[in-house]
Each structure stands twice: as structure tokens, then as C-alpha cells.
Structure 1
Amino acid sequence: MSRPLKRLKVRKKTFSCWECKRRKIRCEVTPPCSVCLSCQQRGLLCVSQEFVVDNESAGESESRGQMENNLDRVETLVDQLLRQRGQQEQKNKSPNRTMLRSVPQSISSFSVGRYLYSILPPPATTAVIIEHGKFTLMPTPTGRAVGAVQQEPPPPSAHPVQFARRLIRLAICLQQSNGQVDEAARYIEIASQHVMSKDDLMNSLDGLEALTLEATYHINNGNPRVAWLRFRRALAIAQLLGLGVTEMTDRAEGIWFLLLMADRYMSLRLGLPFAVEDNNFSDPRGDALSKLKYIHVVVSGRIIARNLRMQRQGEPEYDETLKIHYSLKQVARSLPSDWWSFSSLHGLAAADVLEKTSTLSAQLTHHYLIVVLHQPYIVKSLVSPTTNEHVSYSKLVVCSASREVLLRFLVIRSFHRGGSYFGFEEKACTAMCVLLLAHIDGYRLGQANSLEHQRPQDLALVNNVLSLLEEMHVPNFEVEILKKLVGIEEQVADGANYSWMKKSGAGLELTMPYFGTVCWVLMSPREQVIHQETSLPPSSDTAGLLDFLDMLEESPLFDQA
């Protein structure tokens, strides 16, 4: 039995219970019930103030203690969150950012992550997309830092950049599957709208990887300028994170090297300056392939610097060209001779396909750099014919390098027959263009043309590449130009003459990065006679043509050697 409660003396008209007094609320009792409404709702013992309560029941005391502890914990968590948010805002305002080792998570990003999680395809569908897209067989420009697509998605609580990166990877797979272009574009649009366009969500190594994947998608989609912008943005974020300045992990160092490589390659392709001139970087793997890539990045920067000087000053830069070529020859000699051999990718295991494709890609890039290194002198010889030994040397070198590019392109794209593949099409088109130009220029030498005996094989190689591009339905404006250039080469071989001018609007136009547009126009029969009778004194009929040639000779870009 419970003890009887002790009675106290209270003021008259005092009817509230102890609980209502403690809560400072009105105590309402409806007779004949002696328990007030508040205690009824809360299931509490209703004790009038005229009685003394010695001890609370054990259950009530424990319940009240838990409630107080929970309130204290909630207040502490809210205080911590507010303090962390203030520290994060202070870091964002500071110019000296420390490099983030993991993905920062914010409270508002949870809803974005859950939305992106809801639109991801199920694991079974993901497996089909990966299989058809052959993502695991493609040596992506992001290398080991990206890895393969996991069939299981990240948990719903993961950072939004994890879902954006997954969507972009799936988009690249769909891009390689003919007929899935619209779905790939939808994934990219969702990732860009909700994650990739938010700088506060991208300031991490995972964010940098996502940006490089997005740039890869745009390269494959034939939008090099958009890809260049993505790489530049990633490079700027990387610098804010301290990459290239502070001590880096292997993962961070690999991403930094990738961004420098991508920026220089895309700038070289578009005729733009590159962003970071410092060459004090290295690839963390240290193998022969990595050393070759390191030299390629350095060389691409030197070619860009040389092109900019030629563009501004009009100097031929022969000495610098030979020095750059010598560095490429030295790194080629450092590799075993059998490393440069290649064969078909068909019939190989998945791991072997990935390794061989990586090797072929590095070989193709090596020869492509030789092509763009000597390309300006081939065009110079067409506009201002010369027998300069440097130009003759460039012509021989560029023809050999162009053939090597096209042969490896055929091997790679005969196996990887999806959409555009990491910009290899543009490299192949550049090689075909320079090879055809070298043959066109050779015909002015008549019987002394040393390239004529290789013409049948070279034309067959060019036609095979063009046929392959048409079979894959790769949208490329340069393909149509090259088909016209093949026709021009055939006409020149049959004796036709073309005039070359440094302005657009008159005939077939070729645009070269850093060096503008060159227009080629077929001469009329009368102009061809004048061209062949160069030994005759100038007459009034030839005055216009000679004035035109004088204009070309005065061009700051194509000075006489």
C-alpha cells in the first residue's frame, strides 16, 4: 500500500495541482472527476497542492530525465552545426584554401542527393548500359583516378557529386551505344543542373573527377570548346584547393597531372594559350607509359608557346622546332622497340584490350604531336614555295608521322566503334589533311617529287579512314572538307594548279589553330599558262597575279625562309 499524502495549508480558492503549477498553466477539473484535463492528456498523476509529494515514481523520474537529456543533446547539435557552418563560410572567403581530402557534405545537399538517387537506373539496367557501352574497356583520359562504374549505386545519404559522377559515366556509356544519345544528354543535363553548376558542391577531388568526365562527354560529342571550358573550371578549382602547391596524395597528384595534360591538349587543338606554365609535375606511377605522357605534356606546352611566337612575331622558329622534335625522338628511344609495335584488338581479353588501347592511344598522341609540330611549314611551302632544307625535312617527317597516326586510328576505331572516341577523330583528320597537303605541294617539284611513289598507299589509307568514319556515322564537319581535299589532290596530280591565299570566302577553306584560315582557289586556264611561264617578263595580264603573290610574301605568318 502507498503511504497517505501529507496535507498542507493552502490559500483559499487554490485548486490547481502541482503539475499545472510547474508548467504554469491553468488547471481545469471537471467534476465528478478529480484529475485535471492536463494530467489526463499527459497520463500523469494529478496531486493537489494541499498534499505534499515526497518522491516521484521511478517511471516518471526516468521519463523526465530522458526528455531533459534529449533536449540538451538537440541544443548541443544545433550549436555545433551553426558553428561548423560559420567555419565553412569563413574558409570560402579565405584566399588561401587548404586542399580538401574528402567530399564536404552540407545539410541542403541531402535533398538533392535523394532526388538524384531516385532517377538512377536499377543495378540490372546499369549492368546492361555498362556492357553495351564497353566503359571498362575504354582508357578514359581520367585514368586510374576514375575507375569503373559500380553496378550498385551510392547510398541515398551520399554527397550529390557521387550521383552526378555516376550519371555522367552512364551517359558516356550510352554515348557509345548508337541510338541512346538522347538519354545520355538527359543524364548530363540533370547532373549539370543540380550538381555540376554549383561551385560549393564541386570543391573536392571527387568534384574534379566529375568535371573531367563531363569534359570527356563533350569531347566525344564534338564540342571541344565546351570541354575546354570544363577543364579550365576544374583547373581553377584545383588551384583553389591547393593542388600543384601543397603536398599532394597520389590521387590528387594524378588528377592535377590530368588537368594540366587536358588543358594543353585542348588548347593546342583550339589555338589557345595554356593556363599553367609550370612543368614541375609528375605522374605518381612512374612507369614507361607515364614518362612518355609527361614528355607529351611538356612538348605540347612548348609547341603552343612556339606557335604563339610565330603568330605574333612572324619568325619561323626553326631552331625551337628542331629542339622540340629532338626531345620527342629521345623519349621514343628510351622505350623498347617492340613497345611501338601494334596489332588488332579483336580476340583479346578485357584487361588486355584496356592495356593495348592505352598503349595505342599514347603512340597515336606521340605521332600526332610530330604532325602539329611541323604542320605550319607545310602550309608555308604551299603559300610561298621554297626549297628550304628545314621545310623539306618537315615534309618528310610529317608524312611518316601522319601515316602512323592513321594506322593506329584504324586499329582503335575498328574495335571501339561507338560514338566519337576521345577526340581521336580530330587527330586523324589533322593527319589526313597534312598528308594530302604534302602530296599537293610535292607536285610542283615535277620529276623530283620524292613522295609520288607513296601516293597510292597514302590515298588508300586516307580513303579507308574516311570510309570508317562514314560507317560509324560520326558527325564531323572536317570529313566533308577532307573529301573535297582528296578531289583537289587528284586534280593537282592531273596537272591542275591552285592559288593559295590568306583570306576566306573564295574557295575551299582550311582553318589551322594559331594560323588562321587559308583559302584555295582553282586557277583558270589562262592563269595556269601564266603560272607555267614564270620565266617570261611580267605583262599587264599577269600584274594582278604577281600583286597577289607579293601580298602573300608580305604576310607576317608566311615569310620567306
Structure 2
Amino acid sequence: MSEAQRAEAERRRKVRKGTHSCWECRRRKIRCQYGPASDTVCLPCQARGSACRSQEFVDESRPQQAPDRRMAQRLGRLEDLMARLVDRILPDASPSGKPRPSYSHSHSHSPGRSDRASPTPSQDTVADGGAGYNNHALDVLEASVGEETPVGLLLGLRNIGSTSHQSAQTAMLTPESDKTDSTSPAASNPPRYDKTCRALHALFPSQNDVDVITGSSAGPFFLVSLFFAFRDLMQGTAPPASRISVIPPITCHPTVLARQLLQLCICMQQLPPGFDTQKLQKQSTTQAYMASVVTSVTSLVTSNDDLIGTAEGLESLVLQGLWHSNAGNLRKAWLSYRRALSLGQLMGIDAGSSRGLKHVDPSTSPEQRSTPENLWFRINCFERFSSLLLGLPAGSPDNSFATEDAMKRNTQMERLERIHTVIAGRMIERNANKTNQAYAITQSIDCDLGDAATKMGHEWWTQEELDPSEGSEQKLGQMLRLMMQVHHFDLLILLHLPYMLRGPSETRYDYSKATCTRSSREVLRRFIPFRMMINSAWSCRHIDYSALVAAMTLLLSYLRQHEAPSEPTPSCAQRAEDRKLVELVRERMQHVALLNQDKLSKESANVLGQMMPILDSIDISLAGGISEYNGNALKRLHLDIPYLGTINIHPSMTIPAVNLCPSEKMTDDLHGDALSVQAESAAMMLQQLQTPVTVEATMQMSGGNAAAAAGGLAGGDTMHMDFGSLDPALLPPDVSVNGMFMQFEPQPQDGELEFPDLMAEANDWVFQGVDTTYWSLLNGNTMGWGG
């Protein structure tokens, strides 16, 4: 082969099979056709007189372009940036223990803005047009890695020139196990969350304070069991209690930081009143710190719709409601629970779906995350009990969490808690509808409560002695059992309360009267040892509400127990025992109020103090002293409820209708006015509470003129009239004592006490509307409830 042929062969190019077009036709994008007479020059090239050269050979008609050195430099810079990114993400050593090979020689030192590219281009490169390489305004790659861009944040370019921030930027993408502290924004979070994360992280106290708080409180054990079943705790599929004391890094999602802050606040609520605050480094009081944290979390996270849509956000709403409930802010707690319930429905957890439940806490393994079923139950449990106390409707009628399939992994006590949640929903529905079948519904609910109590066994209901020397976990088990028992009896009281003060002739309600009395004693007997063991007013606040309801019910139950001759009169020994029990509860409330400066405990003790004379009047009545006119016995007992009005408890006497027969107009007024009068002030804003004529309709008289103040005709034969304020000379000769009755006088609109804001906290509005719900249920006979 000659040199010319050898050179020609070397210049041949490999082309795709079936390629026959020439370079000129390819550039013109036309079809290359050859005639039958010639197969060396195509027809288009013959027509134009141009050179026809096959693509097998290099096209020498066009000058060769110099290599794009600028592009080569940019690709080199890109490789260098990728090597730096790999250095940040991957550990320094491979799994075998050998050092990982370097991808670039330029990342061995701390790179700056001037030296993070490939080696400086040569003079030839600049002469060939590479001078534009250093023009950052025209460099697209340079713009894509600016400080404010996602890539720039990922690579840690923000404030990279500052020495004080280099360590934080280096730790930005390190594994969670290597993070001890950080002051930089979350690299995995969008930039808009940086300020939120910084503000939340700044709220954490020092690690020493966190360890002291969690070590002195039973809160961590309670919080861990809140969203998990007991079996999960035993099998280790729930996070340990020690996780509460670990401050999450600033790189976490805002809902993770918010959840941890709320958990810490709940632990602080359960600190004993005698806790030595000198152990803590923080300067402010625990109450001021908790209020500041909850306010910040509410404004930054739980009220932000863009942030709250995670599993951790859902838990934060429940924890926020729990904190408000323990603080006595029942209305704010109800709002948090209702918001969590609505968010859970949007996520689909009511149907057991986990597809919409997004977890953003990387420190928790998948098997230790809360499930949709447990979250949905806990939300409904808290929301329904709050709604029952406030007289509000339940947020969801769903009871899927209490089916046999859903409870197959639960213990007997967990099953009882879920049944209580279902029953609370049924009671709310009964209270709202007020149908003629209300008492039948009451009997059905009572039967279900009895069945649930029977399944627990007799020994479980015995009141065991509490041992203060036991550990936190054992003490928590005793407390949970005691709280469950109190909750059970509290449900029985609220269930039968509308029928407790029915007339003595209505014997079918005797069971309701006996149940209210018996359940009240059971609650009070458990309240005393509970508050002796747990004397922090901000811990388990619902126990205080239950004790107040039980003590008031026990005292009011004496109003009719001596009226009917066929009904056995309570013995003096029983009254003395009940008096002593209520006195002990009142003293314990005063003690808790003094230790914690708690307004709710103080006001509860005051209310019971105002009601204690009921027993004195009963003793006088049974002794016969009230049969003769006795000014002291006929003196009214006034129960002043802030923002609600005055409850007057006083003797009332029965007069035959033939002696005092009102005119037809007065009868119309009694029916038209008294029965339509509704309590204003708090009752008007909380719920439409009809004027409680209490047990039977009453009528007030002044001298010889009669005016209907509140009440109506109790029957066709007789009417009941209040003579507590009459001159004894005006009393008819044939009057007889019928018992003691109550009368409600609502607070006037222009009274001295201005109605508080609906979202007022416990210091401004102590009872939060629980008092209105109680008196409304007690006077259930005026609500149209029938048998």
C-alpha cells in the first residue's frame, strides 16, 4: 500500500450503517441521490457544481474549530463542586476503613470565593477567548451557586468567608449522630423557615436545665405513652423517655422543635411546688418561661397552615391543648384539639390512612413513629372530654378507634379509656338533642358504663394506698389508674345529673339520684390522696374539675332526700361523714391554692364554703325547727358565680291553689314570660340557658302584689311560691314546708363584672364556662327532657 493510500485509509471515518449522503447534502438537509451513470457524484452536487465528499472522510471544506477551552474549564469547575458536595455528604472513610479517594485536588483546603474553581486558565486560553471565563456576570454556573440559591445553601456558601461560621457550615450536612450543637439554619429546610428555626431554637434552655427538669418530673414517661399503646412501650417500638431531654438541632423542621418545646413545658407543669429553682440557670420563673414558649410556638408554628401539616405538627397541637388544659385555659385547649381533629381529617387518619401523614423528624426510626390510629384516638379523647365540660358539640362522630379489631392490642385499661371516649360522645349528643327519649338514652349509656366497669374486675376498682417512695414509672401507673377511676365516676355524675333533683313522686329517677351521690363520694375519696401525692396545681387539672363537680353534687343531693315519706332519710352518721369528706376536699383545695398561687383551687374552695350551710339547713329542717317560722332557717343561701349570676338556695312552701288563685292574665304571664326568660351574661354567650326554675316553678311576691320573676305553674292543682322574703304576718295559716329549692338570678348586663373575652385565660376567667354547663345539666328538667 502506497503512502497516499495509507493516509487516505487513516482519514476514513466510521459512519453509521446505511449512511450514503455527502457532507454538502447533509448541511443543506436535502436528499442525496445518485444517477444511474455515476455513483461518485450525487445529482444535487452535479447541479450546483460543488464538491461531493462522502461522510466517510473528514470534511476539509470547512476550517477546523479550536477546542472550546472555556467549556472545558466550566466542566472542570463543575467536577470540583461535585467533589466538594460528596465530601460533605459522605464520611471521610469508606466502609472498609480506607480513606475515600479524593475527587479533586482543590478541596483539600478551605476554599474561598477566589479559589473554588479549577486551576487558573493559561495565557493561551485567555488569548483564545477564555478571558470571558472570569466575567462572573456572564457565568451561568456562577449565578447558579450564589449564596441565596438552594445550591449555594447546600454547599454552605453563605458567609463562607467568615471564620466564625465555617464550623457551623461544615456541620450543616453531617449525620444526626455527629451533631451536638449548631447555630446555622437548616440546610434541608426551605430558606423561609430559617428565621422560624432560629427563633424556636433560641427558646430552649441550657442542656443542664433540660436534664434537671426532665429528671425531676414524671412528665417524660407520660408524654411517651401519650401516642403509643402499652404494648409498644414494652416491646421497645416507642421512643424512650430519655428522648425528651435531647435538644434537637436547629436543622430540624420547625414542628419538631415546637413539639420538643411543648413537651418540656408539660414536664415543667408537673414539677412539685417545692422544686428548687436554684438548680436552673435560667433567670425567669417557670410560669413566665412556659407562657413565653407557648405563645411563641402558637404564633410561629401551630397557627401556620404551611408548617403544621406533618405528624409532628399534629402532635404539637395535641400537646399545646394539653398544656392549656392543665393551665386551666379550657377554651384555648378546646380550640387546639378541634384544630388537630380537623387537620387529622384532612390527612385521612380518621380512616387509618398513613399516606397523608408526613414525618419530618429524621432522628426517629419508622417503627418508633406514632400511628394514625393512636393519633386519631388521642385527639378524640381530649376533644370530647373538653366539649363535654364546656357544653359544646363533638367534632367527629367517628368511633372506629373503639372497635374490637382496633382494640385487639390494647390492655383492659386502654380499652376502658376508649370506651369512655365513645360514651362521652354519646352524652354530648344526648345533651344537645334533648329528645323525649333522653332518659332511655341515659339508661343505655349507664348500662354500657356498668359493663365496662365489670370487665375491669372488682380488684381494679379498690382504692390502693399511694406510696410516695416509689419510682417515677410505678408512680405514673398508680396515677393513671386513679385518674381513670375518677374519670369513670365523673362521667356517671354528668350522665345522671339532669335527673338528680326531680320530684319525690317520680320514683323512677331514684336510681339517678343514688348514682350521683355514690359517684360523688367515690371521686372525692380519690381526690384527697391524689392531691396529697401530686400537689402541683398545673398537673392533671381535670381532677380538680371533677372534684368540684362531685362536691357540689354531693351537697345539692341533700335538697330532696328528706321530702318523701317513703324515701329513707339519710342518717346523721352519713351526713356527718359527707360533711367531713367535703371539708377535707375543701382544705386540700386551699392547700394547693396556697402552694401554687392557683386561682382555680381558691375559687373552688370558696364555692364549696358557700354551699356548706345546706347541710346546716337540712339538720334544722329534720329537727323540726323550720316548721315554725325561723328567720335564720328561712334565710337564703347565695352562691355567687363570677360572670354567671347568683344561685339562691332557700326554703319554699306549698299552698293549695284554692287559697291563692292567680288571675288568668297572671297565668298567661307565668307561661309566656317566665318559661321564655333565658339567662343572659355568660349563659347568653356560652349557650342558651333557660332561666332555671330549678326543681319546681317558683313565684316571688312583695306585699299584696304578685309578680312573676322566674318560673311557672308546676301542675294543675298546686303552685309553689317562695315566702323567704315575706312578712310572717302575711303567711297563710295552712302553709307547710315542702323543702329547699334553688333560683337563678343572672348577672345584669350593666353589672360591675364585665363579661371577659371569650379566649380569656384562667386568671381572668376561672371556670371558663364549666359552671354554666353544670347548672344547665342540673336543671335538665327545664330543657324539655323527658322519659
Q: Is the 8 A contact 1:267 1:273 kept in 2?
A: yes
The one of 530, 551, 556 equivalent to 1:437 is: 556
2:493 is the alignment partner of 1:493: no
Greater RCO, CA 8 A, separation 6+: 1
Aligned equivalents of 1:423, 1:209: Cα separation in 2:
20
Distance 1:208 1:457, change over 3 A: same
The one of 442, 445, 449 equivalent to 1:324 is: 445
CA RMSD of aligned residues (A): 4.0
The one of 311, 319, 332 equivalent to 1:213 is: 319
Aligned equivalents of 2:306, 2:336: Cα separation in 1:
16
Aligned equivalents of 1:536, 1:45: Cα separation in 2:
119
The one-letter code sitting in structure 2 at the alignment partner of 1:487 is: P
Deviation at 1:489, TM superposition (A): 3.0
Q: Is the 8 A contact 1:146 1:209 kept in 2?
A: no
Aligned equivalents of 1:48, 1:550: Cα separation in 2:
103
The one-letter code sitting in structure 2 at the alignment partner of 1:291 is: R
2:584 is the alignment partner of 1:478: no
The one-letter code sitting in structure 1 at the alignment partner of 2:210 is: T
Q: Is the 8 A contact 1:139 1:358 kept in 2?
A: no
Q: Is the 8 A contact 2:218 2:267 kept in 1?
A: yes
The one of 269, 275, 294 equivalent to 2:395 is: 275
Deviations 1:489-512 (A, max 9, x none): 323332369xxxxxxx9942679x
Deviation at 1:72, TM superposition (A): 7.9
Aligned equivalents of 1:543, 1:517: Cα separation in 2:
19
Deviation at 1:68, TM superposition (A): 9.4
Q: Is the 8 A contact 2:504 2:560 kept in 1?
A: no
The one of 473, 476, 481 equivalent to 1:351 is: 473
The one of 494, 504, 508 equivalent to 2:639 is: 508
Residue 292 of structure 2 is matched in structure 1 by: 186
Q: Is the 8 A contact 1:172 1:217 kept in 2?
A: yes
Aligned equivalents of 2:437, 2:646: Cα separation in 1:
18
Which SS does the other structure have where 2:647 is aligned? strand
Deviation at 1:404, TM superposition (A): 1.4
Which SS does the other structure have where 1:202 is aligned? coil
The one-letter code sitting in structure 2 at the alignment partner of 1:268 is: L
Aligned-pair identity in percent equals 25
Aligned equivalents of 1:296, 1:406: Cα separation in 2:
20
Q: Is the 8 A contact 1:440 1:493 kept in 2?
A: no
Aligned equivalents of 2:421, 2:656: Cα separation in 1:
48
Residue 203 of structure 1 is matched in structure 2 by: 309
Deviations 1:125-144 (A, max 9, x none): 11122234432364789343
Deviation at 1:78, TM superposition (A): 5.6
Q: Which moved more, 1:159-168 or 1:280-289?
A: 280-289
2:226 is the alignment partner of 1:142: yes
Aligned equivalents of 1:534, 1:492: Cα separation in 2:
21
Deviations 1:388-434 (A, max 9, x none): 22321111111111111122222322211112323111111111111
The one of 511, 520, 523 equivalent to 1:393 is: 511
Which structure has greater helix proportion? 1
The one-letter code sitting in structure 2 at the alignment partner of 1:475 is: K
2:232 is the alignment partner of 1:108: no
Q: Is the 8 A contact 1:398 1:434 kept in 2?
A: yes
The one-letter code sitting in structure 1 at the alignment partner of 2:264 is: L
Q: Is the 8 A contact 1:552 1:558 kept in 2?
A: no
Which SS does the other structure have where 1:272 is aligned? coil
Distance 1:549 1:195, change over 3 A: closer
Which SS does the other structure have where 1:494 is aligned? helix
- The aligned length equals 466
Aligned equivalents of 1:116, 1:549: Cα separation in 2:
55
Residue 27 of structure 1 is matched in structure 2 by: none
Which SS does the other structure have where 1:108 is aligned? helix
Aligned equivalents of 1:52, 1:234: Cα separation in 2:
66
The one of 305, 309, 331 equivalent to 2:433 is: 309
Aligned equivalents of 1:146, 1:233: Cα separation in 2:
25
Deviation at 1:549, TM superposition (A): 8.6
The one of 92, 115, 122 equivalent to 1:45 is: 122
Q: Is the 8 A contact 1:345 1:411 kept in 2?
A: no
1:90-105 correspondence runs (5 A): 105=189
Which SS does the other structure have where 2:351 is aligned? coil
The one-letter code sitting in structure 2 at the alignment partner of 1:163 is: L
2:423 is the alignment partner of 1:423: no
2:261 is the alignment partner of 1:167: yes
Deviations 1:436-470 (A, max 9, x none): 11123213347944433421222212111111111
Aligned equivalents of 2:227, 2:615: Cα separation in 1:
40
Aligned equivalents of 1:455, 1:105: Cα separation in 2:
65
Distance 1:140 1:230, change over 3 A: farther
1:62-141 correspondence runs (5 A): 105-136=189-220, 138=222
Residue 375 of structure 1 is matched in structure 2 by: 497
Residue 266 of structure 1 is matched in structure 2 by: 386
Deviation at 1:369, TM superposition (A): 0.7
Q: Is the 8 A contact 1:344 1:411 kept in 2?
A: yes
Aligned equivalents of 1:250, 1:363: Cα separation in 2:
26
Q: Which moved more, 1:281-290 or 1:367-376?
A: 281-290
Q: Which moved more, 1:538-547 or 1:166-175?
A: 538-547
Aligned equivalents of 1:450, 1:250: Cα separation in 2:
54
Aligned equivalents of 1:48, 1:237: Cα separation in 2:
61
Aligned equivalents of 1:116, 1:352: Cα separation in 2:
34
Q: Is the 8 A contact 1:553 1:559 kept in 2?
A: no
The one-letter code sitting in structure 2 at the alignment partner of 1:300 is: A
Aligned equivalents of 2:523, 2:338: Cα separation in 1:
27
Which SS does the other structure have where 1:444 is aligned? coil
Distance 1:317 1:162, change over 3 A: same
Aligned equivalents of 1:387, 1:439: Cα separation in 2:
16
The one-letter code sitting in structure 1 at the alignment partner of 2:541 is: F
- TM (normalized to structure 1)? 0.73
- TM (normalized to structure 2)? 0.53
Deviations 1:71-115 (A, max 9, x none): 88899x96999xxxxxxxxxxxxxxxxxxxxxx953321332133
Any gaps of 5 or more consecutive residues in structure 1?
Answer: 1-17, 24-37, 62-66, 82-103, 498-504
Aligned equivalents of 2:560, 2:210: Cα separation in 1:
52
Deviation at 1:553, TM superposition (A): 3.6
The one-letter code sitting in structure 2 at the alignment partner of 1:181 is: Q
The one of 149, 152, 161 equivalent to 2:246 is: 152
Q: Is the 8 A contact 2:189 2:251 kept in 1?
A: no
Deviation at 1:374, TM superposition (A): 0.4
Aligned equivalents of 1:445, 1:300: Cα separation in 2:
33
Which SS does the other structure have where 1:278 is aligned? coil
Q: Which moved more, 1:126-135 or 1:191-200?
A: 126-135
Aligned equivalents of 1:346, 1:79: Cα separation in 2:
57
The one-letter code sitting in structure 1 at the alignment partner of 2:533 is: F
The one of 580, 589, 601 equivalent to 1:460 is: 580
Any gaps of 5 or more consecutive residues in structure 2?
Answer: 1-68, 75-113, 134-138, 154-187, 229-237, 274-284, 355-368, 628-635, 663-697, 716-780
Aligned equivalents of 1:216, 1:250: Cα separation in 2:
17
